[in-house]
Amino acid sequence: MPTPLIPKADLIEIFSSIQGEGTLVGIRQIFIRFPDCNLNCRYCDTDFLKSPTCLIESSSGSGELETVKNPFNFSRVKNLVTKWNSELPDAHHSISITGGEPLLHGEVLLSWLPELRKILPIYLETNGTLPDQLEVLIQHLDWVSMDIKLHSQTGLRTEWEIHRQFLKIANQTDCYVKLVVGEETPDLELQLAADLVSEVSKRIWIVLQPVTKTGQITLSTNRLLQMQALTSEIHSKVRVIPQTHRFMGVL
């Protein structure tokens, strides 16, 4: 039987760095960033536009990026990940599949993830709005970092029901929910998010992530602590974690 064709993909970048957000903050991962997003959040500072080229770190952790032509053959990605993992055994905890919104590349991920997972476990970073696409891939994932996108920060309508469906599927992995919060975030949004998470599972962590602008957290400590207290009244597993990679100056 002929070997099924493994699809190529346009990528934004591949690099090795420290996870700066969420419950796995501080671990080292190999990041594979995919282009495109289905949302347009007001605070977005991620370069996710598809381009004819992709940036690849020349060696794991060097910080030096080489420009390489898109699209990418899977064998090239697999060889790179295998090489970095064998050069630094045990240094990398997992592979972070990130974007943009990586679930927009379902066909590619369905073919790539089972192979990549033979090298390292898979961690998905997602905006939590594409449950059908998650369902297809869930068996190939170990961790899911999902957002509940709050209107006060994104400027977009919060899709509560879609987030609920998504979290129910993500709960088959070790998942957590990230809420990006700022001065404008009202108590009601935190209550609704905490109710939603609590209803799906009491064991899922909520991470309150204060908006960071030019390396500074824009929320006052008092307001952050109020938010933590309010969310904890409904759901006991709440952490406050800013984007730490911004302070470390890593990729």
CB of 245 to ligand SF4, least distance (A): 15
Residue with Cβ nearer ligand SF4 (125 or 174) = 125
* Amino acid (1-letter code) at residue 225: L
CB of 62 to ligand SF4, least distance (A): 26
Residue with Cβ nearer ligand SF4 (37 or 169) = 37
Secondary structure (DSSP) of 125-151? EE-S--HHHHHHHGGG-SEEEEE---H
Residue 98's nearest CA partner among 185, 171, 37 is 37
Residue with Cβ nearer ligand SF4 (127 or 185) = 127
CB of 60 to ligand SF4, least distance (A): 25
**H or E element that contains 67:** strand 65-69
CB of 93 to ligand SF4, least distance (A): 22
Which residues face 124 on adjacent strands? Answer: 97, 144
The single residue listed with the structure tokens 């509560």 is 160
Q: Residue count at the site for ligand SF4 (CB under 6 A)?
A: 11
Q: Which 74-113 positions form the footprint of ligand SF4 (CB under 6 A)?
A: 99-101
60, 127, 209, 243: which one binds ligand SF4 (CB under 6 A): 127
Per the CB < 8 A criterion, the answer to whether 57 and 251 are in contact is yes
Using CB atoms within 10 Å of the CB of residue 241, give its burial: 0 to 12 exposed, 13 to 18 middle, 19+ buried: middle
Residue with Cβ nearer ligand SF4 (42 or 83) = 42
Per the CB < 8 A criterion, the answer to whether 163 and 194 are in contact is no
CB of 130 to ligand SF4, least distance (A): 11
Residue with Cβ nearer ligand SF4 (64 or 161) = 161
Nearest 5 degrees, angle CA 202-CA 124-CA 146? Answer: 40
CB of 78 to ligand SF4, least distance (A): 25
Residue with Cβ nearer ligand SF4 (46 or 216) = 46
- The contact mask relative to ligand SF4 for 18-57 (x = CB under 6 A, - = no) is -------------------x-xxx--x-x-x---------
The single residue listed with the structure tokens 């697999």 is 78
Q: Within a 10 A sphere around the Cβ of 208, how many other Cβ atoms?
A: 22
Give the binding site for ligand SF4 (CB under 6 A): 37, 39-41, 44, 46, 48, 99-101, 127
